[in-house]
Amino acid sequence: MYHQQLSYCITQFVEKDFKLADTVIRGLLKYWPITNSSKEVMFLGELEEVLEATQPAEFQRCMVLFSGRLVGASIAHIFSSIGSSS
């Protein structure tokens, strides 16, 4: 699978030019897989790698959007857990 190589490449771009972090994070959030939890986990891993290479000032540009997406994913996970337990 190509995910690891692509993830490494994107992280290298962000490390080389920290101003790309905002664009990368917004792109990941734009294509967030809403109905596929295994892909959500993959996206979370990708976001973690990008965030580790991100400067605080760059993160602040997309912090609200990022936080909203995480809250939405958490709520969806809670509701799916409740639905599967009943």
Average pLDDT of the chain, as a whole number: 84
Q: Among 10-14, 20-24, 57-61, which is the least confidently predicted range?
A: 57-61
85 to each of 40, 68, 81, how far by Cα in Å? 21, 26, 6
Could you give the angle at the alpha carbon of 25 between the alpha carbons of 48 and 49, nearest 5°? 20
Rounded distance, CA 34 to CA 55, Å?
A: 27
Residue-wise pLDDT tens digits, 21-51: 999 999 998 998 888 878 888 888 898 999 9
What pLDDT is stored for residue 83 in this prediction?
Answer: 66
**DSSP element (H, E) containing 29:** helix 20-30
What pLDDT is stored for residue 84 in this prediction?
Answer: 66
Q: Is the pLDDT of residue 86 over 60?
A: no
Write down the domain spans for the chain. Answer: 3-85
